[in-house]
Structure 1
């Protein structure tokens, strides 16, 4: 399943970009044509995906490892400052990567650029319009859209999972009862019907909402290109 996901993910990303661009341009959308174009650039998207996601994972994990290493020692003011410094580095690098990679998917698909050229175009486009008001600059618009999408995703996830949680908590009156229920779920040989239903509905919601972020970024890409 993981191998299939790794193979299909670059095709999915490219397909979303091409489909949105075709619809925005008033062109007919053909699944066969989208699949053909997406598979043609699979090596490019796979390499870029590996680099982009790998960069995020590396700069997220490295400060966490540093913080965990620091926390194993004796608590002190120095260790606290070092942990805060590692956390600040993590936040800074995540923000920097987010800006630099803002349009990497669009540059590699719609823009037709390879590797380093796509990343360079993404960085330059994200950081363009320096003198414009904040909400008219691509990087801030991208951050705002991503934040709104994340809030929508969280809201839908809560709306899907909360009813199942309420049903599970019926009859639970103490913390010990809740802990016992959690242990029973964790030690169950197989997930029960409610767990499976929650997982299926949550996965469906995520699958429906994930393309929306790509669609909004394609439109933002076109807008940023037009205003550049």
Structure 2
């Protein structure tokens, strides 16, 4: 139908010639074919003045039949782009899809922190001192090796965090970076990520120590209503500070890597993004979605831990009910742990947990992209870096 309409317009246009005026200079007379050539070359725009050669009334080139009007009609037929956010189930689906696409890259990235931990656990389990000997060269060597592998895991942790962000962003935009190239890029973020890790994890550690200290104080002191109320107030304060800090650092990893933000900027932008979306329903706000993602992961980790240690926990609970002396209870629990030996099921489930752990980082990257950038519902978000940042 459009083709027939174009032919009709062409037939009408071929019988007429036009004069156009661009920046005060008149060109023509020219027929419709010449005008189309000027349009293709960029010399003629819809806003330029135009008139028929035999008429002195000036209009615009956009009103010349068959020149711009057909394209405008085609554009009007296209449905308007609707901007929307992903649903929570779509975020989870995109998380698993990204993990599946880059499974081997994520696995290789996980191994740089998992292998040292595995070596440490196996060394500790199978290098045991002889019976009746308190100090043995093999046990000292095993302890030293375990300490070195522990330090190696800590050193590689910032690279692991940066790599998760880079891999996820690249895969979501249809690219398949090599593991070596990704590691080389992730290493460049090591100083910044390491400093942020020390700060963020350090604050969480201090808040946990604060809660444990309050509990120990309440247990050691003589019971009274005033002391119980004070302990409850301090614990409520600790929970409030923990939750508030968790919200403020919800997206620090994404800003530090994907936006190349500095130490302070990453924390400030993370806080702003986490508290954004106040005009949205509560279940679409980044703060609640991030909390739900973290809760799902922590519940999964707790389920794995309880499954692996269920028999040991039952034994400890029975001893706790049967033994009144704390020192005797501690000795019995230590002997039971030594007698149980190497727990293969706990080891295997721990490895599975570490292999699946990138899912948590991927989910937060997807949530970050969805929360920070408004995207058409049928398109993937396009990430543009901030000032001094890198385009992902």
TM-score class, shorter-chain normalisation, is: 0.7 to 0.9
Q: Would the aligned equivalents of 2:308 and 2:346 in 1 still touch at CA under 8 Å?
A: no
The answer to whether structure 1 residue 137 and structure 2 residue 285 are counterparts is yes
CA spacing shift, 1:179–1:24, aligned 2, 3 Å = farther
Q: Would the aligned equivalents of 1:16 and 1:211 in 2 still touch at CA under 8 Å?
A: yes
**Please, which of 276, 281, 297 is the counterpart of residue 128 of structure 1?**
276
Runs of 5+ consecutive residues of structure 1 not aligned to the other structure: none
CA distance in 2, matches of 1:124, 1:111: 14
Q: Report which stretch shifted further, 20-29 or 147-156.
A: 147-156
Instruction: Identify which of structures 1 and 2 has the higher relative contact order when contacts are C-alpha pairs closer than 8 Å and 6+ apart.
Output: 1
Task: Indicate the structure with greater strand content.
Answer: 2
Q: Number of aligned pairs?
A: 218
Report the alpha carbon displacement of residue 187 of structure 1 after superposing the two structures with TM. Answer: 2.2
The answer to whether structure 1 residue 209 and structure 2 residue 341 are counterparts is no
**Please, which of 1, 24, 30 is the counterpart of residue 172 of structure 2?**
24
Q: Would the aligned equivalents of 2:305 and 2:346 in 1 still touch at CA under 8 Å?
A: no
Q: Would the aligned equivalents of 1:63 and 1:89 in 2 still touch at CA under 8 Å?
A: no
Q: Report which stretch shifted further, 143-152 or 12-21.
A: 143-152
Task: Indicate the structure with greater helix content.
Answer: 1
Q: Would the aligned equivalents of 1:161 and 1:202 in 2 still touch at CA under 8 Å?
A: no
The answer to whether structure 1 residue 64 and structure 2 residue 208 are counterparts is no
What is the RMSD of the two structures over their aligned residues, measured on CA atoms?
2.7
Q: Would the aligned equivalents of 1:64 and 1:86 in 2 still touch at CA under 8 Å?
A: no
CA distance in 2, matches of 1:127, 1:189: 45
CA spacing shift, 1:189–1:204, aligned 2, 3 Å = closer
Q: Would the aligned equivalents of 1:18 and 1:109 in 2 still touch at CA under 8 Å?
A: yes
Q: TM-score, normalised by structure 1?
A: 0.85
CA distance in 1, matches of 2:322, 2:210: 33
The answer to whether structure 1 residue 224 and structure 2 residue 371 are counterparts is yes
**Please, which of 204, 221, 231 is the counterpart of residue 83 of structure 1?**
231
- The 5-angstrom pairing of residues 139-218 of structure 1 reads 139-160=287-308, 165=311, 175=318, 186-187=334-335, 195-218=342-365
CA distance in 1, matches of 2:179, 2:331: 46
- Bigger Cα Rg: 2
Report the alpha carbon displacement of residue 5 of structure 1 after superposing the two structures with TM. Answer: 1.5
The answer to whether structure 1 residue 114 and structure 2 residue 262 are counterparts is yes
The Cα offsets for residues 53-111 of structure 1, whole Å up to 9 and x where unpaired, read as 01111122123213322432221111001110111011101110110000000010111
CA distance in 2, matches of 1:11, 1:224: 25
CA distance in 1, matches of 2:224, 2:178: 62
Give the secondary structure class of the aligned counterpart of 2:261.
coil
Runs of 5+ consecutive residues of structure 2 not aligned to the other structure: 1-148, 324-329, 376-392
CA spacing shift, 1:71–1:185, aligned 2, 3 Å = closer
CA distance in 1, matches of 2:183, 2:374: 30
Report the alpha carbon displacement of residue 208 of structure 1 after superposing the two structures with TM. Answer: 1.8
Report the alpha carbon displacement of residue 216 of structure 1 after superposing the two structures with TM. Answer: 0.3
Report the alpha carbon displacement of residue 179 of structure 1 after superposing the two structures with TM. Answer: 7.6
CA distance in 2, matches of 1:96, 1:42: 26
